[in-house]
A = this chain, B = another copy of it.
Amino acid sequence: MFTGLSAFPLTPVTGSGIDTTAYARLVSRLAAAGVDSIGALGSTGSYPYLTRAQRAEAAKIAVDAAAGTPVLVGIGATATSEVLALAEDAQNAGAAAVLLAPVSYQPLTDDEVFGLYEDVTRELSLPLCVYDNPRTTHFQFSDELHGRIAALPNVGSIKIPGVPADAKARVDALRARILDTVTIGISGDAVAAEGLAAGCDVWYSVLGGLFPDAARAVMRDAAESERLRPLWDLFARHGSIRVVAAAATHLGLIGERVLPRPLRELDGAARREVIDTLRQLNL
C-alpha cells in the first residue's frame, strides 16, 4: 500500500468542529481521481489539533468517503498511551495503515523514540509508516535509528522530509539500512520530483491532497515540478497547510474558516497571491 501517490487532504475545522460534509467531499474527490492511497489526519489534516473523538470521527468519514481506496490514518500524539488509543480507533474505523510521527514536547532521545515505535508496533495489527518530519516534531532521526525502527514488526514505510541536493546519495544511504519490504516515501512537495528520481517509492503529497492530477503530472515529468515553483515558494513562505487551505476555499470546496485555531487562514494580500498563482499555473 505504500507506493505511488498518497494524497494528504486538509481536515476543515470551523469554530464548531470538523466540517464533516466538506471533509467527505475532499476525500471522495481524491478517490475519484484514482490516487493510490489517502493520508487522512496527516500534518495537513491537522491531527495534532483534534481531540481523540474528533480524530475517530474523521477516520471513519475518510474511510467511508474513500470508497475502497486505502486510507492511512495519522496516530501521532505526545503520550504513548494516547497513540495506542488512537491506533485502536484507526483500526476500528477501517484504516488500511497508520502514520506515526514522534510528536514531542520534551526533546526526545533516540532510545525514547525507538521505545515509542516498539510499544506501538507490539500492539498493532496494521502496517505502520514512520513519519519523519523535523519541522513539526523537532526530532532528528539518524539513519541508524531508522534502521532499528524499520526492523520492528508491521513497519512498512518511512516518510522522509525533503531531500538534499544529492538526493540519490540520501535515499541510497537510508535504503542500505532498512529491509527491502520497507518503502521510502518523499514529502516536501518542492523536492518530490528529485526524491522520486532518486528512487523513492511513494510521494506523500500535500499537492496531491487537493490537486491529484497536478501531482500525477509531476510524477510523470519532473519538468512539471519546475513549472510549479511559484507554488513551492508560497508553501515555503506561508506553510503548505495555509496555502492549500486558501486554495481549497478559493475553489469553493470548503468554507472561509477552515484551520484549527490558533492557526489562521491567510489574509488579504497573501490570499490574493495564492489565487493569482493558481491562475498563472492553471491549477
Which A residues are closer than 8 A to B by beta carbons? Answer: 43, 48-51, 78-82, 102-103, 105-109, 111-113, 115-116, 119, 135-136, 138, 239, 241, 260-264
Contacts and interface: CB of A to CB of B under 8 A. Distances in A.
Contacts of A112: 262-264
Contacts of A108: 262-263
Task: Count identical subunits in the complex.
Answer: 2
Most buried by B among A138, A239, A263: A263
A58 to B, nearest CB: 14
14 contacts: A48-B79, A49-B105, A50-B79, A51-B82, A79-B261, A79-B262, A80-B260, A106-B241, A106-B263, A107-B239, A112-B263, A113-B262, A115-B261, A116-B261
Given A43-B106, A51-B82, 10 more contacts: A43-B105, A49-B79, A81-B261, A103-B105, A106-B136, A107-B135, A108-B262, A109-B264, A111-B264, A112-B264
A258 to B, nearest CB: 14
Contact of A106 (B50, B81, B106, B239): B239
